[in-house]
Amino acid sequence: MCGRFTQSCSWEETAELFELEEIPDDLPPRYNVAPTQPAAVVRNEDVRRLRMLRWGLIPSGAPDPSIGNRLINARAETASVRPSFRDAFRARRCLVPVDGFFEWERLGRRRQPWLFRMRDGGPFALAGLFERWRPPPGVSAPWLPEDGSSAAVETFTILTTDANPVVAEVHDRMPVIVPPDAFDRWLGGGEVPLGPYPPEAMTAFRVSPVVNSPRNDDPRCVEPLAGGEDREAAGRSPPSLFG
């Protein structure tokens, strides 16, 4: 799965990668984006634009918005046919700009977070789907406007696939990473390989447990744990990757 990610690269660097014409002036870096929080996504609106959507897809016909809390990820193998995602898979795709994502290693009762990044430390794109949902009459939630407005709420989910060798020692799933030469095809509804990303392009390291709390969103979340060692896939077999 993908349960947390970072958007901490400079937005100018992100704009260059995604060929964005403009970005908001007041967009802060994010070091620990968690489900139900707003996050930046890229989608086609004649040109590529950056928009803030809530993480956790609410299907357009859902009677209760709490379903979004469970739909933060969509399996790439079934998203095109599963009722919650199939319409968005066909017509509402997006890219989620990130510079890292977290997974957790189980060590007895303790969960040790790992940060996965590109070896060059730069931004990259996760495959996403988005939806627009209007609250039915009488439906409320703490994050909906108190005035009872029925304005559409836009939400997104992240596609996942089998883990590559870099991720597999920590988790059996990873987010689908879309290479830059496939951005147009993905956003346009075309066919894009949705399998594991090449492991030789990635690296990973342990980070502080401060990332375990979604209330913590600061540079401590992405600092390598003292004594931790970067692990890369090149020339390594999976059993020794995180040994």
Give the CA count within 13 Å in the CB-facing half-sphere of 47: 9
Two tokens at 236? 């390594």
Q: What is the pLDDT of residues 100-129, one digit of tens each?
A: 999 999 888 889 999 999 999 999 999 999
2: annotated active-site residue? yes
pLDDT band at 146 (very low <50, low <70, confident <90, very high): low
Least confident of 48-52, 185-189, 223-227: 223-227
Work out the burial of residue 86: count CB atoms within 10 Å of its CB; fewer than 13 is exposed, 13-18 middle, 19 or more buried.
Answer: middle
Catalytic position from the list 2, 9, 94, 221? 2
pLDDT band at 242 (very low <50, low <70, confident <90, very high): very low
* Mean pLDDT across the chain: 89
Two tokens at 45? 């609106």
103: annotated active-site residue? yes
Rg, the chain, Cα only: 18
Distance CA 241, CA 219 (A): 26
Helices (H), the chain: 11-18, 86-91, 165-168, 183-187, 238-241
- Sign for the CA dihedral angle at 94, 98, 100, 103 comes to negative
Number of CB atoms found within 10 A of residue 42's CB: 23
Catalytic position from the list 12, 16, 19, 103? 103
Note the pLDDT of residue 145. Answer: 63
Note the pLDDT of residue 149. Answer: 58
